Each structure stands twice: as structure tokens, then as C-alpha cells.
Amino acid sequence: MSDLTEKEKKYQKWIVVLSIIIPLAVAGLFGVNLPRMGVDVQPLTFLPPIYASINGLTAVVLIIAVMAIKRGNRTLHERLMKFAILLSVLFLLMYIGYHMTSESTSFGGEGGIRYVYFFILITHIVLSIVIIPLVLFTYVRALAERFDKHKKLAKITFPIWLYVAVTGVIVYFMISPYYLH
């Protein structure tokens, strides 16, 4: 990667660090349940429909952003992509907050639907880890005005990010009948 600009080199280390730290932190915090640790905290059981809606909105924003750039509207595309990143961060914070304050919900479906659910869930989780560096490298290439490389990577990043956003909504709808209220 000797053809990296100074701006890309500056961000490359941070992207690698964040791409490792974020999944490890989420995995670690997923195991932290404050009520079970004796912390008097109100369970944030209202969050799943909110963060599922944020996933849905992210999918819509991504589609509109692609349409904007195809129409030549770089300013709108840039704003929408920043908004999509912000939505993803908000989702992550709410997801962690929910799991730190509430018991995990088990999927109660049986038969073939159970296999479908777990396939969607596992691919969603794996690709949500993969998408972190892809989004960040794609974004940095745009910041560095390396639009040829940005576009090439975005063609990989977009469908994966869209899949993660859409499957987040699907997972929510599939597990929502089993949430404890």
C-alpha cells in the first residue's frame, strides 16, 4: 500500500485499531449485565424497536446516498453517508446499552424458521464486524479525494452495509415476539 496519501496513512492505523477494538468491546460489554452485577439500573427494554428502526433508516439513507452520487450530487451523497455513519454509531450505543441492562432474549421459533433465523443472525453479526473497516477505509478514501479508489471500495462496502442494516431489522422482527416485557 505504498500508494497511500499522507491523509490515508494518518487514518490507516486508527481504522485498524477501531476495527479490532469495537468488536472486542461489544463482545466484552455484551457479557456485562449491570443488574446481575448488583447495579441498580433501569433495564432499557424500550430500545430494541428504536435501534431496529435506526437500522431501517440506515438502509434507506444508504440507498438514497447511492442514488444521489449516481445523479452527480456529491454534496448530498457526502451528507447522507455521514448521517449513515452517525446512525450506525447510535445503533451501536443503544445496542450495548440494552444488552448491559437487560437479559438477552432467546429465539423461540421451532423447525425450519429456527435455521433461517440463526443463518440471518450469524451472517448479520459476522458482516457487522467486517463492515467496520470497509466503511472507514471507504470514507477515508473520499476524504483523501481518491475517488477512483473510493468508488471501487464502495462497490463492496455498500451491499454489505445494506445487508447488515436490513438483516438487523429482520432479526428484530423475528425475535420481537419473544421479548420479555
Domain ranges of the chain: 6-178
Give residue 36's pLDDT.
Answer: 87
Q: Whole-model pTM?
A: 0.91
pLDDT digits (tens, 9 = 90+) for 35-62: 888 899 999 999 999 999 999 999 999 9
Architecture of the CATH domain 6-178:
Up-down Bundle (1.20)
Residues 181, 50, 98, 41, CA torsion sign: negative
Give residue 1's pLDDT.
Answer: 43
Q: Give the long-range contacts of residues 2-10, CB within 8 A, separation 24 or more.
A: 5/144, 5/146, 7/140, 7/143, 7/144, 8/140, 8/141, 8/144, 8/146
For residue 18, pLDDT over 50 is answered with yes
pLDDT digits (tens, 9 = 90+) for 65-88: 999 999 999 999 999 999 999 999
